[in-house]
Amino acid sequence: MARGATPGSATSLEFLPDMTSGAGELRRAGVRVLAAVALTVGFGATAACSGNTARPVAPSPGIDSGRPGTTLVSPSPTTTVSPGPGVTKPGIRLKVVPQTDGSFDITEDVMLPEATNILQLQLPDSGEHLPGMMAKTTPKVTNLKVTAGDDPVPVEDTTVTAPEDLPLTTAASRIRLTYTLLGSVVRSTPSKPERAGAAIRPLTSATEGTLPTDLTVTSGLLNAVCPLLIETRCATGDPPDLGILPDIPAGKALVVLQLNLPRSP
């Protein structure tokens, strides 16, 4: 028994809890609990990530894609329209396509300032008094087709051999004519049968004589003369990019072309 100890004190000391060791046990137990929780959370997160990685991710749906009966429509291709007379403002646009036989396939787009129910049709002049031709010709139009607005116009006689009036079934301000012009060509020489002079005029030029008119010849143009204008030479640019003066008043849009016709294949 130690000095100064009272009887029973040793026994009492033996059964007192070790406070230091108890706190250490509590700390170690807490660490084990936290570690177990961390492992559990980490395993759950890993499993969730692994599950997402294993499955392909679908694209985000559109706003209406989940609605029943909804049809997704692809955007329509944009059609480019060149601005100008006959298309985006009042006037006439004439596209002339030369053919090997000396005929011309023509598309004539007309936009009038006001709707009309009748078209005055006029052929080009004979070439006997025209510069660059000086020989009689007999122009005529065949295979005439007319659209007024979006409606086809019934044409009783699709051949035009003289000035005439063409009635429309309904009044319209936007009109398209397609036709073939024949008999308006004078070939230059036998040695160059593709070289020719030709007289062109919008078929609707008499309907509204002040309308600005643009004419385009798709191939072979060498020169252009407008005998009804004060300045008669009306070619612009240089071959092979030669063009015709734009915005000619329709009543004066008689044009004599010098051109090379396409060769036969």
Domains annotated for the chain, with CATH where assigned, are: 91-260 (2.60.40)
Q: Which residue has the tokens 């009966």?
A: 69
Position 81 scores a pLDDT of 63
Collapsed DSSP state (helix, strand, coil) of residue 151: strand
For each of the chain's 265 residues, which pLDDT tens digit applies?
A: 444 444 443 333 333 344 344 444 434 444 454 444 444 444 444 444 444 444 444 444 444 444 444 444 444 445 466 788 888 899 999 999 999 999 999 999 999 999 999 999 999 999 999 998 999 999 999 999 999 999 999 999 999 999 999 999 999 999 999 999 999 999 987 778 899 999 999 999 999 999 999 999 999 999 999 999 999 999 999 888 899 999 999 999 999 999 999 988 7
Please check whether residue 93 is in contact with residue 214, taking contact to mean a CB–CB distance below 8 angstroms. yes
Collapsed DSSP state (helix, strand, coil) of residue 250: helix
DSSP code per residue over 183-245: S-EEEEETTEEEEEEEEE--TTTTT-TTSEEEEEE-S-EEEEE-TTSSS-B-EES-TTS-EE-
Please check whether residue 104 is in contact with residue 98, taking contact to mean a CB–CB distance below 8 angstroms. yes
Q: Is cis: bond before 56, omega within 30 of 0?
A: no
Which two three-digit tokens encode residue 28?
């170690």
Which two three-digit tokens encode residue 15?
């059964």
DSSP code of 17? Answer: -
pTM of the model: 0.69
Rounded to whole angstroms, how far apart are CA atoms 191 and 194? Answer: 9
- Measuring CA to CA, which residue among 231, 213, 223 is closest to residue 259? 223
Position 39 scores a pLDDT of 41
Q: Please count the other Cβ atoms lying within 10 Å of the Cβ belonging to residue 168.
A: 18
Rounded to whole angstroms, how far apart are CA atoms 112 and 91? Answer: 7
Encode 126-149: b = buried (16+ Cβ within 10 Å), e = exposed.
bbeebebbeeebebbbeebebebe
Q: Is cis: bond before 68, omega within 30 of 0?
A: no
Which two three-digit tokens encode residue 123?
């052929």
- Residue 163 belongs to what H/E stretch? none
